[in-house]
C-alpha cells in the first residue's frame, strides 16, 4: 500500500522568501460592521457580550468533523455553490488552495468523484485565471472561480477556489476524497488565491484567528478541525507554544531528534512542518534510513518498509525536542499495524530549502498531539491528546 504524502511542493526551494510582514488584524467588531453583520450578531449573541465587546467576550467557533480513513487520510464534507454541491476534501495544513473536480475535467480521476458544475450554482462567478498545483503524490490543473462555500457550519461567501480540468495519473483516481482544502499561509497559495481560513477570518466569521486539529487513532471517529476554537477536553496538561519560523507552510524549528537519549538526527537543530495532509513522519532520506535500520525495519518485496509487530513492545520512543519541550512518539504510533502486518510509519523524502532539509511532522505525529494553528500570533500550540 502506498502511503499518502500530500505535502505541496510549490516553490519549496524558495521557502525562505515566504515571509509575511506582521500586520495588525481588524477586530471582530470591525469585520462584522464592514460586512453588515454586526446588528444580527449582537441580537443572537447578546448574552455573551458583557459590558465590553471584544473577541474574548463573543466567541464564534465552528467544528468541521473529519472521517478517519485507515489512519492514512482525514477528510470532511463541504458544500460549494447555491444550492450546495457536496465534496469530501482533505483539510491540509501543508498547502493553501481549495480545489475540487469539475465538469470540465476529462481525466480518469474525475470520473469516479463528485464534480462541481458551475451552471448548477446561482452564486458562481467565473474568472479567466488558471491554477496548477503539484503535491508529493498527485497534481492538478484547472481554472479559478468564486462561490459560496459551506464549511463546518460556516457560510464562506465569495470564496475563490479551483475547478480541476486535469488530474493526471492514478493516485487521485483511487483517492477516497474529491479535493483538497489548504490551511497553510497565503504566501504559498498557487495563483495568489485567498485561502479559505483567511477569507473566513476577513469576513468576521470566527472570533479567534486560529484553528485547532484533533486526529483520532485506530480508525476511530471524532477527528475534527475547530475553526476559531481551542477545546481543552481534547488534550491533557497545557499547551506549549512554538513560534512559526517561516510563514509559508506551518514551519517550526526542531532542537533535536533522539532515541534512548542519543541523537539520531537533527543534532544541530532542523526545520520541520506540521502537516495534516501527510500520513507519515517524513525526513531526509539518509536520516530516515538510519532510523529504519535502528528499529529493524527493512523493505519487503512489495516495496513496504516492514517491521516485526513484536518490536512494538521493545523499541524506544522517537523524541522530538521542540522549543525546549520533548514530544515523544512511541513505537505504537510510528509502527503501523494493519491486518496483523506491521510497517514503518517513517518516510524518506529530501526537501531542500535555504534553511536546510525539511522534516514533515505528519499524521503519525499529530495523532499524539492536539495541535493549534495560531495565525494571530504565528505560532503552533502542542499538547498530548487526552
Chain-centroid distance of CA 319 in Å reads: 22
Residue 26: C-alpha distances to residues 19, 100, 216, 277 (Å): 20, 30, 34, 30
CA 39 vs CA 20, 30, 44, 55, 199: distances in Å: 33, 12, 9, 16, 21
**pLDDT higher for 13 or 155?**
155
* Phi, psi torsion values for 33, nearest 5 degrees: -65, -45
**pLDDT reported for residue 310:** 92
User: What is the Rg, in whole angstroms, of the alpha carbon atoms belonging to the chain?
Assistant: 21
Res 43 pLDDT > 50: no
According to the model, what pLDDT value does residue 15 have? 29
% residues pLDDT > 70 (the chain): 85
- How much is the average pLDDT of 89-95? 97
Q: pLDDT band at 138, cuts 50/70/90? A: confident
Average pLDDT, the chain: 86
Short-list 351, 244, 367, 372, CA closest to 8: 351
Nearest to 205 by CA among 34, 378, 78, 86: 34
**Which residue in 279, 120, 100, 274 sits closest to 177, CA to CA?**
100
The band of 40, judged by pLDDT with boundaries at 50, 70 and 90, is very low
| pLDDT band, residue 118 (cuts 50/70/90) | very high
Q: What are the tens digits of pLDDT across the range 238-295?
A: 999 999 999 999 999 999 999 999 999 999 999 999 999 999 999 999 999 999 999 9
275 is catalytic: yes
181-226: pLDDT as tens digits:
999 999 999 999 999 999 999 999 998 999 999 999 998 999 999 9
Give the per-residue pLDDT at 46. Answer: 32
Model confidence at 135, pLDDT cuts 50, 70, 90, reads confident
| Interval 288-317: pLDDT, tens | 999 999 999 998 877 789 999 999 999 999
CA nearest 96: which of 154, 4, 159? 159
- The reported pLDDT for the residue numbered 136 is 76
Grid cell listed for 258: 533522539
Q: For residue 35, name the pLDDT band (cuts at 50, 70, 90).
A: low
Q: Output the pLDDT for position 365.
A: 98
pTM: 0.85
Task: Examine the residue annotation and report whether 209 is marked as an active-site residue of this protein.
Answer: no
As a whole number, mean pLDDT of residues 31-49 equals 42
Q: Which of 71, 92, 156, 198 is catalytic?
A: 92
Using one digit for the tens of pLDDT, what is the confidence trace for 66-81? Answer: 999 999 999 999 999 9
Average pLDDT rounded to a whole number, residues 355-359: 85
Would you say 211 and 274 are in contact if contact means Cβ atoms under 8 Å apart?
no
Q: How far apart are CA 154 and CA 336, in angstroms?
A: 35
Could you give the angle at the alpha carbon of 169 between the alpha carbons of 164 and 173, nearest 5°? Answer: 70
Sign of torsion over alpha carbons 110, 171, 138, 244: positive
Average pLDDT of the segment spanning 350-356: 81
pLDDT for residue 375: 98
What sections of the chain are H helices per DSSP? 28-34, 38-44, 108-111, 171-174, 196-202, 285-295, 331-334, 363-366
Rounded distance between C-alpha atoms, residue 235 and residue 231, angstroms:
8
From 147, 156, 198, 275, active-site residue: 275
Amino acid at each position: 500500500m502506498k502511503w499518502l504524502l500530500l505535502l505541496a511542493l510549490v516553490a519549496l526551494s524558495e521557502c525562505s522568501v515566504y515571509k509575511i510582514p506582521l500586520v495588525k488584524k481588524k477586530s471582530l467588531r470591525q469585520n462584522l460592521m464592514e460586512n453588515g453583520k454586526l446588528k444580527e450578531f449582537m441580537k443572537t449573541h447578546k448574552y455573551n457580550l458583557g459590558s465590553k465587546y471584544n473577541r474574548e467576550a463573543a466567541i464564534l467557533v465552528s467544528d468541521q468533523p473529519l472521517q478517519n480513513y485507515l489512519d492514512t487520510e482525514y477528510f470532511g464534507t463541504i458544500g460549494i455553490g447555491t444550492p450546495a454541491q457536496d465534496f469530501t476534501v482533505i483539510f491540509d495544513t501543508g498547502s493553501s488552495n481549495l480545489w475540487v473536480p469539475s465538469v470540465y475535467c476529462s481525466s480518469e480521476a474525475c470520473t469516479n468523484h463528485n464534480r462541481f458544475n458551475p451552471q448548477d450554482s446561482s452564486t458562481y462567478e467565473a474568472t479567466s485565471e488558471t491554477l496548477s498545483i503539484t503535491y508529493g503524490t498527485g497534481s492538478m490543473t484547472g481554472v479559478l472561480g468564486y462561490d459560496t462555500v459551506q464549511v463546518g457550519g460556516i457560510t464562506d461567501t465569495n470564496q475563490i477556489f479551483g475547478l480541476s480540468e486535469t488530474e493526471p495519473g492514478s493516485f487521485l483516481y483511487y483517492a477516497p476524497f474529491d479535493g483538497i482544502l489548504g490551511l497553510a499561509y497565503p504566501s504559498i497559495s498557487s495563483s495568489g488565491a485567498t485561502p479559505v481560513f483567511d477569507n473566513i477570518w476577513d469576513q468576521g466569521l470566527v472570533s479567534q484567528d486560529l484553528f485547532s486539529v484533533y486526529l483520532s487513532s485506530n480508525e476511530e471517529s471524532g477527528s475534527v478541525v475547530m475553526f476559531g476554537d481551542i477545546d481543552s477536553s481534547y488534550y491533557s496538561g497545557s499547551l506549549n507554544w512554538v513560534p512559526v519560523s517561516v510563514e509559508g507552510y506551518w514551519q517550526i524549528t526542531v532542537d533535536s531528534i533522539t532515541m534512548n537519549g542519543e541523537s539520531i538526527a537533527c543534532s544541530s537543530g532542523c526545520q520541520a512542518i506540521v502537516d495534516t495532509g501527510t500520513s507519515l513522519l517524513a525526513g531526509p532520506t539518509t536520516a530516515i534510513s538510519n532510523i529504519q535500520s535502528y528499529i529493524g525495519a527493512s523493505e519487503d518485496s512489495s516495496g513496504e518498509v516492514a517491521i516485526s509487530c513484536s518490536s512494538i513492545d521493545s523499541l524506544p520512543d522517537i523524541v522530538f525536542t521542540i522549543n525546549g519541550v520533548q514530544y515523544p512518539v512511541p513505537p505504537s504510533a510510528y509502527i503501523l499495524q494493519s491486518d496483523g502486518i506491521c510497517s514503518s510509519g517513517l518516510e524518506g523524502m529530501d526537501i531542500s530549502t535555504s534553511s536546510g532539509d525539511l522534516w514533515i511532522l505528519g499524521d503519525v505525529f499529530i495523532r499524539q498531539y492536539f495541535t493549534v494553528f495560531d495565525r494571530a500570533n504565528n505560532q503552533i500550540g502542542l499538547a498530548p491528546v487526552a
